Amino acid sequence: MADVVPPEVRSRMMAGIRGKNTQPELILRGGLHALGFRYRVHVAALPGKPDLVFPSRHAVLFAHGCFWHGHDCHLFKQPSSRSKFWAAKIAKNRENDSRAIEALAAAGWRVGVVWECAIKGRSRRPLESVIESCATWLKADERHFELRGFE
């Protein structure tokens, strides 16, 4: 299938996609801050540059976009144009995610992942439930946490 916009426009559109301060990330930050949690954002010294770092709880949270991280949900659809490029890119992102999570766990960090589908889309959870689930995990001693949408 041919792209419906010229390459210059597509390039500008893709350049506008943010890797930091995404809507799901801002929702998590706002909700957890309102509950009294304090954190650092995008700590470059840690593997994978986690979206939220809670040093006092030795925990990190990633807010993963379902498309960019190849999540198996309704928000992810393999592009039909340049499919080899996208398959390789998404596979590399997933590999980087696994490597970062393993390195963080090996360093003693507790690692949580909140998928975009938990916050938006037809399988989303109530936002209060998402924030409360994250807060409960942060207060507990569990090493790993993953929150996805209903399905």
Give residue 9's pLDDT: 80
Residue 22 in tokens: 């995404």
Count structural domains, the chain. 1
Domain of residue 133, CATH code: 3.40.960.10
Tell me if 135 sits within 8 A of 35, measured CB to CB.
yes
Q: What is the pTM of this model?
A: 0.89
Please list, in sequence order, all residues whose beta carbon lies within 8 angstroms of the beta carbon of residue 133, skipping any fewer than 6 positions away: 125, 145, 147
Residue 6 belongs to some domain of the structure:
no
For the stretch 73-97, pLDDT in tens is 999 998 888 899 999 999 999 999 9
Tell me the pairing of strands 52-54 and 59-64.
antiparallel
Give residue 6's pLDDT: 84
pLDDT tens for the 151 residues of the chain, in order = 567 878 788 677 766 666 688 999 999 999 999 999 999 999 999 999 999 999 999 999 999 999 999 999 999 998 888 899 999 999 999 999 999 999 999 999 999 999 999 999 999 999 999 999 999 999 999 999 999 998 7
Residue 11 belongs to some domain of the structure:
no
Residue 30 belongs to some domain of the structure:
yes
Residue 113 belongs to some domain of the structure:
yes
Tell me if 98 sits within 8 A of 128, measured CB to CB.
no
| Residue 139 structural domain | 19-147
Residue 10 belongs to some domain of the structure:
no
